[in-house]
Amino acid sequence: MSTFDNATADRPIGLTAPSGIDRAAHHRLDEAWLSVAWSHPTTRVFVVSGGQVLIDDTPEGGTEIVMTPAFEAPVTETHRYFLGTDEDGVSYFALQKDSLPGRMDQSARPAGLREAGLLLGPRDAGLMAHAVALENWQRLHRFCSRCGERTVIAAAGHIRRCQACGAEHYPRTDPAVIMLVTDDQDRALLGRQVHWPEGRFSTLAGFVEPGESIEQSVVREVYEEAGVTVGEVEYIASQPWPFPSSLMLGFMARATSSEIDVDGEEIEEARWFSREELTAAFASGEVLPPFGISIAARLIEIWYGEPLPRPGRVHRTG
């Protein structure tokens, strides 16, 4: 995957571990099969609302999405999304509702993907990412972009059809590049967006433009945001990022210049950090690491050589 060789290189990236779920896309247009799957006693259903689901702690110390059999699920006429099946033949559906259901035992809690993604196992994290991405798309694409008429849901939530002009619309995924840039002194370039809290630094990132390769996008985005030119670009890994509809493409990039000139619109501040400088900044609280679920944290870790500090975690001192 990468020429970087350290203890962090093979650690999984959030939301990318194999979920054990077969999306079984060939069943999405089979209404008879979907009806049987929905009514099967082993089928499991959960509600997604505003990017959140209910999660609950298990007796074994883990965390899972709160799921119910289909016959206990809230009623919905159309917003029922088939997510796939597991190796035991269990089918999974998500229901899009205006609010999450209450819990009689009060032990469950609502959570978005940024929080839940750090707690859930691969199966539930994968199911939640799929459901949240579909919900985001469904809420924002209710009308036909060709003729303006209202569209209807088809293919178990994976298509919207316009009955007026016949157009079909599919879930949107926007490719975005995210990159850790290093210079000839092996320092890392980290930036702070204008709307982030003081001290929050992370890798640079941006969307791929029409007619542009992802490598070209890395070069352009780094120069636009920080004024640094980039030469060599190395792909590392990708990560689904449904906030609301991105696919993050992670890179390591080698700078050919070191002078920083931030754009002031997206990036308010950018700095070069050696490992020692970043360690000291973490220890003093001057720099806050990116969220652990993000591929940004993993890109920095690959260069840094060990996991980034989290609350309660002791980080290296030299």
Over residues 105-142, the pLDDT tens digits come to: 678 999 999 999 999 999 999 999 999 999 999 999 99
Task: State whether the Cα torsion 130-10-255-290 is positive or negative.
Answer: positive
Q: How far apart are CA 301 and CA 115, in angstroms?
A: 20
Q: How many CA atoms does the CB half-sphere of 38 hold within 13 Å?
A: 18
| H/E stretch holding 33 | helix 31-39
Would you state the pLDDT for residue 314? 39
Q: How many CA atoms does the CB half-sphere of 128 hold within 13 Å?
A: 32
Residue 311: Cβ within 10 Å count: 4
Would you state the pLDDT for residue 5? 53
Q: How far apart are CA 42 and CA 92, in angstroms?
A: 9
Q: How far apart are CA 100 and CA 54, in angstroms?
A: 7
Instruction: Write the DSSP symbol of residue 106.
Output: -
Give the model confidence (pLDDT) of 174-207 as tens digits.
Answer: 999 999 999 999 999 999 999 999 999 999 999 9
Give the model confidence (pLDDT) of 230-250 as tens digits.
Answer: 999 999 999 999 998 999 999
The tokens of 27 are what?
Answer: 């069943």
Q: How far apart are CA 265 and CA 99, in angstroms?
A: 35
Question: What are the strands, taking DSSP E only, across the chain?
Answer: 44-48, 52-57, 63-65, 68-69, 80-85, 91-96, 109-112, 151-154, 159-162, 168-169, 174-182, 188-193, 204-207, 230-241, 246-255, 267-273
Instruction: Write the DSSP symbol of residue 186.
Output: -
Residue 235: Cβ within 10 Å count: 16
pTM comes to: 0.90
Bridge-based pairing state of the strands 109-112 and 68-69? unpaired
